[in-house]
Amino acid sequence: MLAIRAVVAVLLAAGLAGAQPTPRDPLNVLSFNIRYGTANDGDNHWSLRREHLFEVLRERDADLVGLQEALAVQIDEIEAAVPGYAAIGVGRDDAARAGEFTAILYKKSRFRVAGAGTFWFSDTPEAPASKSWGNDITRICTWARFVDRDGRGFYVFNLHLDHQSQPSRERSVALLRQRIDSRAFRGDPVVVTGDFNAGERNPALTALTSGGDPPAPFVDTYRVRHPDEAVVGTFTGFEIGNTAGEKIDYVLVQPGTEVIGAEIIRVSRNGRYPSDHFPVAATIRLMDQAVHQGPGRGTAAVTDHHEHRFENPAEWAKSFDDPARDEWQMPTRVIDALQLTPGMKVADIGAGTGYFTMRLAKAPAAPTVFAVDIEKAMIDHIVQRAMHDGLTKNIVGVLAGADRTNLPELMDLVLMVDTYHHIPNRVAYFTALKGRLKPGARLAIIDFRKGAPAGPPEQFRFTPDQISAELGQAGFGLQASHDFLPRQMFLVYGMK
């Protein structure tokens, strides 16, 4: 029986990456600190401004709204006054209805909720009302995974950081990143909304939006569309005409997301704002794979790897296992060149539908083959193939993680076919991989050459020298190079 390690996974994926998914429908997203309904705000009390706030929500007609400083009664009133929304979230004081919600409003007619929760920014993030990092006020984040009408999922994380404690803000963002990185569907796009109580140069924000190693995971939608705008204050204190101060409210998206529009909504009625914060809005198109373009209008940022989901094995098998592939993939010659011997343990990383996994397992040396992929559907597909072909004794399915293979044993050989270009943070990834290799183990990389037909976009292809340079940093040295494949490089490395 196949052993499957069910661990969350991210961008690593297998196979031929030529097919492009249908573009997603645009999303209209709003982040809105609506100010506590119980605050003693005089002429700006909730009862005197709520109709204006309802009007703003109706006019904007956003698909998703991240609310901050929302109390249960305010959410109830919004749902009654602005039909079509449902709310996700709990009160921070009791995980029920007491205290502030960082609620997410969503269009019931468009989205299905496939998972949701709230965590507390503290050392005990599952404990209601907990706080640990110098903040006097409890702070929380509510998240949800939505499935759109096209069946594709994405995540929203909505938060409110502390207004006084910088250590709390920074540690809260660190926890946020951990939670985002450990989401169950690592290939799903992520949107972050919130009142960060932090300006654009504050480390609590730049930890998400500025360069580094690993690269920053998000960009501010407003800055994608308005990179040079100087008047960006989003907190008014109810002072009409006040646009000074820093931008502290955000809609953040991942690099590669198409930002169609973004704005700070500065609307008033009868000398009154709907809240003491301006809502911020963005119209975006989430991407199933990153678009590698230079920074500019409409493109969030640059990525160094090709992001792709492979969730439907039956469909992908039509191309991955097409008999016509054998002509240029030459699997028999590849396996012969790998020089398998009895008793070897071989990892097929990016196994996809099992094109090489099955052939390796059927080779005369009969190695134990560990089929590694981030897509559980692909692993399940290989399980069924192995059972059908009577290969369950020497095939092991492994669900991979973001920065690790999750291999349960040390390997003699690792094979990566058309997978290298999918891996983010490659030097770190391959450095970690060394810990799962036996002394003398080999790493075989097969990936599309520049200019070859099919395969990933040209900007996600590498020369042999580029691959060798990256793997050299990770502690590997080139041992052999085979040139018989018409479309692909075939490079074999050993540990230095």
Among positive and negative, which fits the CA dihedral 296, 298, 302, 306? negative
Exposed/middle/buried for residue 293 (C-beta within 10 Å: 0-12, 13-18, 19+): middle
Stronger pLDDT, 456 or 219, i.e. the higher one: 219
Architecture of domain 313-495: 3-Layer(aba) Sandwich (3.40)
Q: Quick check: 353 and 382 in contact, CB under 8 A?
A: yes
Q: Does the pLDDT at position 1 exceed 50?
A: no
Residues linked to residue 423 through DSSP beta bridges, in sequence order: none
Q: How far is CA 284 from the centre of its chain?
A: 15
Give the residue carrying structure tokens 């792709």: 308
d(Cα 491, Cα 462) in Å, to the nearest integer?
12
**Between β-strands 345-349 and 411-417, what pairing exists: parallel, antiparallel or unpaired?**
parallel
DSSP structural state of residue 287: -
Q: Quick check: 238 and 41 in contact, CB under 8 A?
A: yes
d(Cα 398, Cα 2) in Å, to the nearest integer?
9
Q: Quick check: 325 and 355 in contact, CB under 8 A?
A: yes
DSSP structural state of residue 23: P
Residue 496: the pLDDT is 92
DSSP structural state of residue 347: E
Residue 298: the pLDDT is 46
Cα dist from 312 to 103, 260, 353, 378, 423, whole Å: 33, 29, 10, 8, 20
Residues 109, 110, 112: CA angle, nearest 5 degrees: 95
Q: Which fold has domain 27-285?
A: Deoxyribonuclease I; Chain A (3.60.10)
Residue 22: the pLDDT is 76
Give the residue carrying structure tokens 């018989």: 484
Q: How many CA atoms lie within 13 A of 375 on its CB side?
A: 23
Residue 55: the pLDDT is 98
At residue 29, the 3 state secondary structure works out as: strand
d(Cα 202, Cα 169) in Å, to the nearest integer?
10
d(Cα 263, Cα 94) in Å, to the nearest integer?
35
Q: Quick check: 485 and 446 in contact, CB under 8 A?
A: yes
Q: Does the pLDDT at position 263 exceed 90?
A: yes
Helices 355-362, 331-338: crossing angle, 10 deg rounding: 60
The string of pLDDT tens digits covering residues 100-127 is 999 999 999 999 998 899 999 999 999 9
d(Cα 122, Cα 168) in Å, to the nearest integer?
8
Residue spans per domain, the chain? 27-285, 313-495
Give the residue carrying structure tokens 């690993």: 214
Residue 118: the pLDDT is 94
The string of pLDDT tens digits covering residues 420-445 is 988 877 888 898 899 999 999 999 99
- Out of 37-46, 52-61, 246-255, 390-399, least confident range: 390-399
